[in-house]
Every structure is written in C-alpha cells, then in structure tokens.
Structure 1
Amino acid sequence: MGFIISNTISNLIVCGLWTYISAMFAGPLIATWVGFAGCTSYYTAGCGKNGFIRSICSNMAGILIGCTIIWLCVNVNGSLWFNGLITGIFSGVIIYITHCDLTRFATCTFMGGFSAFASGGNWKMLVICFILGNIVGLTSDYLGRFILAKFFKKTDKKDWVIAKFLED
C-alpha cells in the first residue's frame, strides 16, 4: 500500500503545483493541459531517466509530424481526400518509428501529434509545455520514491487490485 500512497501524495503535490504555477504564466507559450499530456507521456514511457528521454523524443517527433500535417494540408492542398491521405501516411510513420529506441512509445508520439492539432500548430508552446510536463512527471515520480523510502518498507511495492477481470 505504501507504493500507491507515496505516488498518490507526490502526484497531489507536484500536479497541484504545476496547475497553480502554469496558470500564473498561462498565455501563448504555456498551456496547463499540454503539461499534463507531457506528464502522462513520462509515465507511459516507463519513468526514470530512460522514460524521460524516450517520452520527450516521442513527444517531439509527434509535434513535428502533427505540424507537418497541418502545414501540408494548409499550404499544399486543403481538400478532404488529401488531408485524409496525408494524415494516414503520417500515422503510418508514427507506427514505423516505434522500431527506433528513442521513439518506441507510439502513444507519446500520438500525444504530441494530436496536441499539434489541438493547439493549431503552436509548436513553440508545445515544445516548452511537453518538456515542462515531462519534468512534472519526473519530479512526481522521484518525490514518490523519496516518500516510499522515507516512510514505508522498501519491499512494499505492490499494486492494489480493485477488480480482477482476466485470469492469469
């Protein structure tokens, strides 16, 4: 139970601070929701140093792909069939680059890509906020580890099971 409680407390603190601080600086280069996408990406990529690096690389690849799709659809051909074709091709590229170690997490890459669409291609804001969001995730993770080590037994790293749907 200590593992869950430690991570719950650390997320409460760090994500609460992120919401407060990012709201103070909200504007064209800071969007709180993108930071949470970065934080989610960090956890999706497996946490730690490797997860941090892979999450950022995957997010940046997604931003690049999303902004490329936007640019092509606006500047080359705005027809519906072209937009669908380009989006399909680049979705395939995202799946293809999962074979690269640094961009192996397709969900993180898609987060960067759909955030590009949601922001209207504001890549500067996305880069800043995804990096900050990954730092939020990293900080939350390591604060949880600290709380676990300080206040709970080291062997207490098991998950709660609320409902069991699949048999092992």
Structure 2
Amino acid sequence: MSVLISISITTGILSGLWAWVATSLGLLSWAGFLGCTSYFASPVSGLKGLGLSLVTNLSGVFWAMVIIYLSQHIAIDYLGYGITAIVAFFMCAQAKKGWLAYIPGTFIGSCATFAANGDWALVVPSLILGGVFGYAMKASGEWLHAKAKTKELLAITETEVRANKS
C-alpha cells in the first residue's frame, strides 16, 4: 500500500470524525478543515509543522481582527482599503521571524476570521483542533503505511524461506 493510499484512508476516517466532533462541540467544521489543510500544506512536517501552521493561523486571526477593528472605526471606505493593504504587508513581513515564516498559514487564519464575521472565539478552537486532526491524519497514515510495508516484507521473507527449503 502506498503512502498516499494510507494517508487517504486515515484522512477519510478522521475527516468524518472531525465533522462529528465539530458539530458536537459547536465549532466551525469548515474552519477546522482550513486548519487541517494548513498543516498538510506546511513546508515542515511533524510536530514542528503543526506548531508552525498553528502559530501562523493564529497570527492571521489577529491580523484579521486588526483590519476589522480599524475598519469599523473609519467611515471612509478608501481608508479601510489602505488599512487592509498595510496589514497585508505586515502579514507577509512577519515571515522574517522563523516561527512566522509560513505566509499561507497566516492568510488561512485571516480568511477564516473574515468568513466567520470576526468571531475569533469560534475560529481559534476550530483552527487549532482542525490542525491537530490534520497532524493525526498524516501521522496515522504514515503509521499505517509502515505497518503494511512491514507485513508485506514479512510475507516476502516467509515466501523466500519456503522457497529455499524446497
């Protein structure tokens, strides 16, 4: 079984579980899938990749709230557009810090916040749990692949031993 098929199996199972968990906890399932996607697309895997995707997602939530807050206090549309431009600059420039270097993760967190009409208190746990589910999907898929490969190697070895005895 290939790594892709193994990860596909565990992702399918855990996606269904995530949909149930999100509904049960009153979270945004789609925002959780954004957190999951952010982890899968992260340039780093493992726990470091999870940390990188979560930190940048949360920074995106922060920047979206800055835009929302400042735009609400300015009645001139053009100034709101300027605020968006300036904040977008900072969303990218923060990548100079290694732990904020994953710019797409920042924009994912920001977009989720805008899509949820600024309800950051709902977006944050949805993104975090979604990211954890993404980590679990990939890690369990890699585990399944390793198990299947070990079983396959044992079967080949057994066949070779039987052939040599003949």
What is the TM-score with the length of structure 1 in the denominator?
Answer: 0.85
Identity of aligned residues (%): 28
Deviations 1:89-135 (A, max 9, x none): 01111110112111111111001111111111111111111110111
1:96 maps to 93
User: Secondary structure of the equivalent of 2:90?
Assistant: helix
Aligned residues: CA RMSD: 1.4
Extract unaligned runs of 5+ from structure 2: 151-166
CA distance in 1, matches of 2:126, 2:45: 18
Q: CA deviation at 1:50?
A: 0.8
Which residue is equivalent to 1:106?
Answer: 103
- Residue type of the partner of 2:38? S
Matched residue type, 2:95: T
Matching residue of 1:160: none
CA contact (8 A) 1:41 1:134 kept: yes
In structure 1, distance between residues paired with 2:51 and 2:117: 25
Distance 1:101 1:10 in 2: 30
**Secondary structure, counterpart of 1:129 in structure 2:** helix
Write the deviation string for residues 52-73 of structure 1: whole angstroms up to 9, x where unpaired.
1100110010000001100000
- Report the counterpart of residue 16 of structure 1 in structure 2: 16
Check conservation: 2:22, 2:126, Cα contact below 8 A.
no
Q: Which residue of 2 aligns with 1:74?
A: 72
Note the alpha carbon deviations across 1:15-60, whole angstroms, 9 max, x for none. 111012212333xxx1100000000111121321110110011001
SS at match of 2:75: coil
Counterparts of 1:15 and 1:97, CA distance in 2:
32
Query: d(CA) in 2 for partners of 1:22 and 1:60?
Result: 18
- Larger Cα Rg: Structure 1 or Structure 2? 2
Match of 2:113 among 113, 116, 130: 116
TM-score relative to the length of structure 2: 0.86
Q: Which has the higher helix share?
A: 2
